[in-house]
Amino acid sequence: MNNIQNPDEIRQFNVRIVIGFASIAATIATVLTVAFVITNEERVRKNLTFGATAISMAAGVAGAAYGLQSLRQNNLQQKENRRIDATRAYIDRWDEPQFAQARITIRELSQTVNSAVSNKSEQLRDRIKQKPTAQQDVTLILNLLEKIALFWDAGLLYEPLLKQFYCPIVLQSWDVLKVYVADRRNEVDVELYKSVEKLYITWSRDP
Protein backbone atom coordinates (compact mmCIF):
# COMPACT_ATOMS: atom_id res chain seq x y z
CA MET A 1 0.00 0.00 0.00
CA ASN A 2 2.87 2.34 0.68
CA ASN A 3 4.84 2.39 -2.55
CA ILE A 4 6.61 5.69 -1.91
CA GLN A 5 9.98 6.39 -3.46
CA ASN A 6 12.88 7.05 -1.15
CA PRO A 7 12.84 10.84 -0.62
CA ASP A 8 16.62 10.93 -0.08
CA GLU A 9 17.25 9.34 -3.47
CA ILE A 10 14.86 11.75 -5.18
CA ARG A 11 16.46 14.72 -3.42
CA GLN A 12 19.97 13.62 -4.43
CA PHE A 13 18.84 13.25 -8.04
CA ASN A 14 17.31 16.74 -8.00
CA VAL A 15 20.48 18.20 -6.49
CA ARG A 16 22.54 16.69 -9.31
CA ILE A 17 20.20 18.20 -11.89
CA VAL A 18 20.30 21.66 -10.32
CA ILE A 19 24.08 21.57 -9.86
CA GLY A 20 24.51 20.47 -13.47
CA PHE A 21 22.25 23.23 -14.72
CA ALA A 22 24.00 25.79 -12.51
CA SER A 23 27.39 24.71 -13.89
CA ILE A 24 26.15 25.08 -17.45
CA ALA A 25 24.61 28.46 -16.64
CA ALA A 26 27.83 29.64 -15.01
CA THR A 27 29.87 28.54 -18.03
CA ILE A 28 27.55 30.31 -20.45
CA ALA A 29 27.50 33.42 -18.27
CA THR A 30 31.31 33.47 -18.22
CA VAL A 31 31.47 33.17 -22.00
CA LEU A 32 28.91 35.95 -22.41
CA THR A 33 30.79 38.18 -19.97
CA VAL A 34 34.08 37.70 -21.80
CA ALA A 35 32.37 38.35 -25.13
CA PHE A 36 30.75 41.47 -23.70
CA VAL A 37 34.13 42.79 -22.56
CA ILE A 38 35.99 42.19 -25.79
CA THR A 39 33.33 43.45 -28.19
CA ASN A 40 32.70 47.09 -28.93
CA GLU A 41 29.64 46.69 -31.12
CA GLU A 42 26.55 48.04 -29.36
CA ARG A 43 24.11 45.61 -30.98
CA VAL A 44 26.19 42.62 -29.95
CA ARG A 45 26.47 44.00 -26.43
CA LYS A 46 22.68 44.29 -26.16
CA ASN A 47 22.26 40.70 -27.31
CA LEU A 48 24.86 39.54 -24.82
CA THR A 49 23.14 41.46 -22.03
CA PHE A 50 19.81 39.88 -22.94
CA GLY A 51 21.39 36.43 -23.01
CA ALA A 52 23.01 36.89 -19.62
CA THR A 53 19.71 38.11 -18.16
CA ALA A 54 17.85 35.12 -19.60
CA ILE A 55 20.42 32.72 -18.17
CA SER A 56 20.16 34.35 -14.74
CA MET A 57 16.37 34.15 -14.80
CA ALA A 58 16.48 30.50 -15.85
CA ALA A 59 18.89 29.71 -13.04
CA GLY A 60 16.58 31.48 -10.58
CA VAL A 61 13.57 29.53 -11.80
CA ALA A 62 15.51 26.26 -11.50
CA GLY A 63 16.50 27.13 -7.95
CA ALA A 64 12.91 27.97 -7.02
CA ALA A 65 11.66 24.74 -8.60
CA TYR A 66 14.20 22.74 -6.64
CA GLY A 67 13.17 24.51 -3.44
CA LEU A 68 9.53 23.62 -4.06
CA GLN A 69 10.41 20.03 -4.88
CA SER A 70 12.51 19.75 -1.71
CA LEU A 71 9.59 21.08 0.33
CA ARG A 72 7.28 18.48 -1.18
CA GLN A 73 9.76 15.70 -0.48
CA ASN A 74 10.17 16.89 3.10
CA ASN A 75 6.39 16.74 3.52
CA LEU A 76 6.37 13.19 2.15
CA GLN A 77 9.15 12.21 4.53
CA GLN A 78 7.30 13.72 7.49
CA LYS A 79 4.15 11.84 6.51
CA GLU A 80 6.12 8.60 6.24
CA ASN A 81 7.72 9.21 9.62
CA ARG A 82 4.28 9.68 11.19
CA ARG A 83 3.17 6.33 9.73
CA ILE A 84 6.26 4.63 11.11
CA ASP A 85 5.76 6.18 14.55
CA ALA A 86 2.10 5.09 14.63
CA THR A 87 3.09 1.57 13.60
CA ARG A 88 5.73 1.34 16.31
CA ALA A 89 3.17 2.49 18.87
CA TYR A 90 0.87 -0.40 17.95
CA ILE A 91 3.77 -2.85 18.04
CA ASP A 92 4.69 -1.65 21.52
CA ARG A 93 1.07 -1.88 22.59
CA TRP A 94 0.90 -5.61 21.87
CA ASP A 95 3.50 -6.19 24.59
CA GLU A 96 1.71 -4.07 27.20
CA PRO A 97 0.77 -5.89 30.45
CA GLN A 98 -2.96 -5.45 29.85
CA PHE A 99 -2.70 -7.82 26.88
CA ALA A 100 -0.65 -10.48 28.67
CA GLN A 101 -3.62 -12.60 29.77
CA ALA A 102 -5.36 -12.11 26.43
CA ARG A 103 -2.30 -13.38 24.56
CA ILE A 104 -2.28 -16.49 26.74
CA THR A 105 -5.97 -17.06 26.05
CA ILE A 106 -5.45 -16.83 22.29
CA ARG A 107 -2.65 -19.40 22.49
CA GLU A 108 -4.85 -21.73 24.55
CA LEU A 109 -7.74 -21.40 22.12
CA SER A 110 -5.37 -22.03 19.22
CA GLN A 111 -4.18 -25.23 20.88
CA THR A 112 -7.80 -26.28 21.42
CA VAL A 113 -8.67 -25.80 17.76
CA ASN A 114 -5.49 -27.41 16.43
CA SER A 115 -5.77 -30.46 18.67
CA ALA A 116 -9.45 -31.06 17.94
CA VAL A 117 -10.10 -33.98 15.62
CA SER A 118 -13.69 -33.00 14.87
CA ASN A 119 -16.27 -30.38 15.83
CA LYS A 120 -13.58 -27.72 16.18
CA SER A 121 -16.14 -24.93 16.27
CA GLU A 122 -18.07 -26.50 19.14
CA GLN A 123 -14.91 -27.20 21.10
CA LEU A 124 -13.86 -23.59 20.68
CA ARG A 125 -17.23 -22.35 21.91
CA ASP A 126 -17.07 -24.70 24.89
CA ARG A 127 -13.54 -23.60 25.76
CA ILE A 128 -14.56 -19.94 25.70
CA LYS A 129 -17.53 -20.69 27.97
CA GLN A 130 -15.38 -22.66 30.40
CA LYS A 131 -12.83 -19.91 30.95
CA PRO A 132 -14.36 -16.95 32.82
CA THR A 133 -12.13 -14.31 31.20
CA ALA A 134 -12.02 -15.86 27.73
CA GLN A 135 -14.69 -13.71 26.12
CA GLN A 136 -13.20 -10.55 27.60
CA ASP A 137 -9.72 -11.55 26.40
CA VAL A 138 -10.95 -12.38 22.91
CA THR A 139 -12.81 -9.08 22.66
CA LEU A 140 -9.72 -7.18 23.81
CA ILE A 141 -7.57 -8.75 21.10
CA LEU A 142 -10.17 -8.36 18.36
CA ASN A 143 -10.78 -4.71 19.25
CA LEU A 144 -7.05 -3.99 19.06
CA LEU A 145 -6.71 -5.74 15.71
CA GLU A 146 -9.78 -3.94 14.39
CA LYS A 147 -8.24 -0.55 15.23
CA ILE A 148 -4.99 -1.56 13.57
CA ALA A 149 -6.87 -2.78 10.49
CA LEU A 150 -8.83 0.47 10.26
CA PHE A 151 -5.64 2.54 10.35
CA TRP A 152 -3.99 0.17 7.87
CA ASP A 153 -6.92 0.46 5.47
CA ALA A 154 -6.74 4.26 5.70
CA GLY A 155 -3.04 4.20 4.79
CA LEU A 156 -2.01 5.64 8.16
CA LEU A 157 0.41 2.85 9.07
CA TYR A 158 3.72 1.74 7.57
CA GLU A 159 2.73 -1.63 6.16
CA PRO A 160 6.16 -3.31 5.76
CA LEU A 161 6.89 -2.88 9.46
CA LEU A 162 3.30 -3.58 10.50
CA LYS A 163 3.13 -6.77 8.46
CA GLN A 164 6.49 -8.02 9.69
CA PHE A 165 5.24 -7.96 13.28
CA TYR A 166 1.47 -8.43 13.08
CA CYS A 167 1.00 -10.78 10.12
CA PRO A 168 1.38 -14.02 12.13
CA ILE A 169 -0.75 -12.55 14.92
CA VAL A 170 -3.57 -11.56 12.57
CA LEU A 171 -3.52 -14.85 10.67
CA GLN A 172 -3.46 -17.02 13.78
CA SER A 173 -6.01 -14.95 15.69
CA TRP A 174 -8.53 -14.86 12.85
CA ASP A 175 -8.13 -18.56 12.05
CA VAL A 176 -8.94 -19.32 15.68
CA LEU A 177 -11.60 -16.70 16.33
CA LYS A 178 -13.55 -16.54 13.07
CA VAL A 179 -16.14 -18.93 14.51
CA TYR A 180 -16.55 -16.69 17.53
CA VAL A 181 -16.82 -13.63 15.27
CA ALA A 182 -19.47 -15.33 13.14
CA ASP A 183 -21.52 -16.03 16.26
CA ARG A 184 -21.17 -12.43 17.43
CA ARG A 185 -22.21 -11.14 14.02
CA ASN A 186 -25.39 -13.16 14.21
CA GLU A 187 -26.08 -11.78 17.67
CA VAL A 188 -24.93 -8.17 17.35
CA ASP A 189 -23.87 -6.78 13.96
CA VAL A 190 -23.09 -8.42 10.62
CA GLU A 191 -20.35 -5.82 10.03
CA LEU A 192 -18.50 -6.66 13.24
CA TYR A 193 -14.71 -6.86 12.77
CA LYS A 194 -14.95 -6.47 9.00
CA SER A 195 -11.67 -4.54 8.87
CA VAL A 196 -9.77 -7.35 10.59
CA GLU A 197 -11.26 -9.82 8.15
CA LYS A 198 -10.17 -7.65 5.21
CA LEU A 199 -6.65 -7.43 6.62
CA TYR A 200 -6.60 -11.19 7.16
CA ILE A 201 -7.70 -11.88 3.57
CA THR A 202 -5.10 -9.47 2.17
CA TRP A 203 -2.19 -10.82 4.18
CA SER A 204 -3.16 -14.48 3.85
CA ARG A 205 -2.66 -14.16 0.09
CA ASP A 206 0.95 -13.09 0.60
CA PRO A 207 2.05 -13.80 4.19
Over 70: is that where the pLDDT of 110 sits?
yes
The answer to whether position 2 is within a domain reads no
Give the residue, 32 or 162, on which the prediction is more confident: 162
Q: Phi/psi of residue 27, each to 5°?
A: -65, -45
Same domain, 99 and 198: yes
Region class of 96: left (phi > 0), else alpha (psi between -120 and 50), else beta: beta
pLDDT digits (tens, 9 = 90+) for 7-59: 455 555 555 555 555 566 556 656 555 555 556 556 655 665 666 676 666 66
- What CA–CA distances, in Å, run from 118 to 41, 113, 151, 183, 189? 102, 9, 37, 19, 28
Give me the mean pLDDT over the 89-103 stretch: 95
Which of 141, 153, 147 has its CA nearest to residue 201? 153
Do 130 and 53 share a structural domain?
A: no
> Please, are residues 180 and 150 in contact by the beta-carbon 8 Å criterion?
no
Distance CA 148, CA 158 (A): 11
Q: Which domain holds residue 69?
A: 7-80
Task: Mark whether 76 and 101 lie in a shared domain.
Answer: no
- Lowest model confidence (mean pLDDT) among 6-15, 26-35, 101-110, 114-123: 6-15
Q: Structure pTM? A: 0.67
Does 89 reside within a domain? no
Does residue 71 sit in the same domain as residue 115?
no
Domain boundary among 28, 50, 80: 80
> What is the pLDDT averaged over residues 133-151?
96
Give the span between the Cα atoms of 169 and 94, in whole angstroms.
10
- Interhelix angle 159-187/194-205, rounded to 10 degrees, is 130
Cα torsion through 78, 82, 85, 90, rounded to 10: -160
